[in-house]
Amino acid sequence: MIRLDCEDLKRGLADAAKDLANTLLTRVTDDHRVENKSIISEFTMIQTRSLQPPENSEELMSMVQFVEEARTNGMIKLNERIRNAMERLQYLMESYLFEQGDLDLNAEVLTWPQRINPVFDKNDELIEASKLDGEKQLLEKKEKVMLELEKLRQRVDEFNEYGELDMMGQYVQDIRAVQKRLADAQESISWLNKEEALYKYPVSQYPVVDEIASSIDPFFKLFNVVVKWQRAEKKWTDGAFLDLDSEVIESEVDEYWRELYKIQKFFNNKFKKLQVRCQLL
């Protein structure tokens, strides 16, 4: 009879199985540690974003959306991950000796759901304060724009008194300054409309902007064509006689006449409308 001694083989297989089990246990523990850090990172990010004061209305609305998502779907997903982590922890506690750092991570993960609620409460206060501040800035900006538009309207009315031929160049500069101010006001209006949309307010309309722009244009054309005429006249009278070209001069004169004719029609119509208003008063 042949007798086989398998003790060494059994011992070797047992040791190999034990090593494999330890390897798997270490792998599970490492994965558990990584997941814990990921969960903590998610909560930390939520806390940071929830308590960071917004610098403008866009950031405020982005914060509102972020916190709303974090409070609902975000917390559902995180709580599910924490439940899975607790199940792994219960298994590992029976098989693995955790170091203090791992114990601290486990404790932090388990306490975050309670710790995040005060963060959301502070966020509510921050959002409310930011909204009040934003609405205040919106109203102040709106008042400034309306005041500026009224000043511009009055400034355009002053152009009716402009009539000094020697001042035409300055008049053109004055109109350009008004056009620049009007463009700045339009930029402010665009900002206001965007803010109103963010706060879900009715979007304000400013028809006076088009009125001012349409009132400026004839004055600009008038003063500009006079300046061009003055420059051309100076060239014709003070320049070299041999450089003059009768056909070019005639063409330029015709162009100035056509422009002035169009402008004259506008001011005639404007004068007639003014007469009608005076008769009605």
Q: How confident is the model at residue 155 (pLDDT cuts 50, 70, 90)?
A: very high
Are 229 and 256 spatial neighbours (Cβ–Cβ below 8 Å)? yes
**Max CA distance (Å), the chain:** 140
Q: What is the pLDDT of residues 40-64, one digit of tens each?
A: 999 999 999 999 999 999 999 999 9
Q: What is the pLDDT of residues 118-131, one digit of tens each?
A: 999 999 999 999 99
The Cα 207–Cα 101 span in angstroms is: 67
Q: How large a percentage of the chain has pLDDT more than 70?
A: 79
Q: How confident is the model at residue 145 (pLDDT cuts 50, 70, 90)?
A: very high
Tokens 């998502």 correspond to: 69
Q: How large is the angle between the packed helices 168-198 and 100-158, nearest 10 degrees? A: 140
Residue 82: Cβ-neighbour burial (10 angstroms; 0-12, 13-18, 19+): buried
**Confidence at residue 279, expressed as pLDDT on a 0 to 100 scale:** 57
Question: How many Å from the N-terminal Cα to the C-terminal Cα in the chain?
Answer: 137
For 213-248, b where at least 16 C-beta lie within 10 A, e where not — what string? bebbebbbbbbbbbbebeebeeeeeeeeeeeeeeee
**Confidence at residue 140, expressed as pLDDT on a 0 to 100 scale:** 94
Is domain 10-132 annotated with CATH 1.20.58?
A: yes
Among 9-18, 34-43, 98-107, top mean pLDDT goes to 34-43
**Confidence at residue 223, expressed as pLDDT on a 0 to 100 scale:** 85
Residue 81: Cβ-neighbour burial (10 angstroms; 0-12, 13-18, 19+): middle
Are 159 and 190 spatial neighbours (Cβ–Cβ below 8 Å)? no
- Which of 108, 106, 99 is CA-nearest to residue 26? 99
Are 216 and 156 spatial neighbours (Cβ–Cβ below 8 Å)? yes
| Lowest mean per-residue pLDDT among 59-68, 95-104, 122-131, 158-167 | 95-104
- Residue 73 pLDDT greater than 80, yes or no: yes
Provide the 8-state DSSP code for 55: S
- Residue 203 pLDDT greater than 70, yes or no: yes
Q: How confident is the model at residue 29 (pLDDT cuts 50, 70, 90)?
A: confident
Provide the 8-state DSSP code for 201: P
Select the more confidently predicted residue: 19 or 128.
128
Tokens 């388990």 correspond to: 110
Q: Mean per-residue pLDDT for 155-163? A: 89
**Confidence at residue 281, expressed as pLDDT on a 0 to 100 scale:** 55
Q: What is the pLDDT of residues 216-273, one digit of tens each?
A: 988 888 888 887 777 776 777 766 666 666 776 777 776 767 777 777 776 666 655 5
